[in-house]
């Protein structure tokens, strides 16, 4: 009986540590997926990660928009400023559990400091804020 209890306890600890490892890796994978969608200039792929309303800032638009409006604004931004490269420079998390990433979006029209903020909604992280700021 003791052996069975010990085996069950070890199995529970092992399963918990595997689950914790998977959960820890998911935010980094998510940030990478969003970064790749930005790098490809595909507004639809970026919009998959939008919350129902997001704060969006591009050189010609700034405000709080619905997911659909944000996708259209982002599509217009990508059309006018097609990407030549995108690099994630830094990412992390804040004390409230939010995730963020800062990158550099480069197009023939200029270089843009890019920032996005993700917050957990139910079980998924979604983009709540996305900014493209032209660098001088």
State how many domains the chain has: 1
Q: Calculate the alpha carbon distances from 74 to 29, 45, 65, 119, 121 in Å.
A: 22, 11, 11, 20, 22
Q: Does 10 fall in a domain?
A: no
Q: Is 80 exceeded by the pLDDT of residue 90?
A: yes
Q: What gap in Å lies between CA 109 and CA 106, rounded to an integer?
A: 8
Longest dimension (CA), the chain: 71
Q: Does 7 fall in a domain?
A: no
Q: Calculate the alpha carbon distances from 122 to 17, 46, 85, 119, 126 in Å.
A: 22, 19, 33, 10, 10
**What CATH number is given to the structural domain containing 41?**
3.10.450.50
Q: Does 87 fall in a domain?
A: yes
Entry pTM: 0.79
Contact present, 118 and 49 (Cβ < 8 Å): yes
Q: Is 70 exceeded by the pLDDT of residue 93?
A: yes
Q: Is 80 exceeded by the pLDDT of residue 2?
A: no
Q: Does 33 fall in a domain?
A: yes
In DSSP notation, the chain reads -HHHHHHHHHHHHHHHHHHHHHHHHHHHHHHHHHHHHHHHT-HHHHHTTEEEEEEEEETTEEEEEEHHHHHHHHHHHHHHS-EEEEEEEEEEE-TTS-EEEEEEEEETTEEEEEEEEEEEETTEEEEEEEEEEE--
Q: Does 91 fall in a domain?
A: yes
Q: Which residues constitute the domain of residue 128?
A: 27-134
- Give residue-wise pLDDT tens across range 30-48: 999 999 999 999 999 999 9
């Amino acid at each position: 009986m003791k052996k069975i209890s010990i085996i069950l306890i070890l199995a529970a600890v092992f399963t918990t540590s595997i689950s914790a490892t998977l959960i820890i890796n998911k935010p980094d994978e998510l940030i990478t997926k969003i970064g790749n969608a930005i790098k490809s200039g595909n507004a639809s792929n970026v919009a998959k990660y939008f919350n129902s309303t997001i704060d969006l800032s591009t050189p010609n638009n700034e405000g709080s928009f619905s997911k659909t409006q944000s996708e259209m604004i982002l599509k217009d931004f990508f059309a006018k400023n097609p990407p030549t490269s995108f690099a994630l420079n830094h990412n992390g998390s804040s004390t409230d559990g939010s995730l963020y990433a800062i990158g550099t979006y480069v197009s023939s029209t200029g270089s843009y400091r890019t920032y996005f903020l993700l917050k957990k909604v139910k079980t998924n992280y979604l983009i709540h804020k996305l900014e493209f700021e032209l660098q001088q």
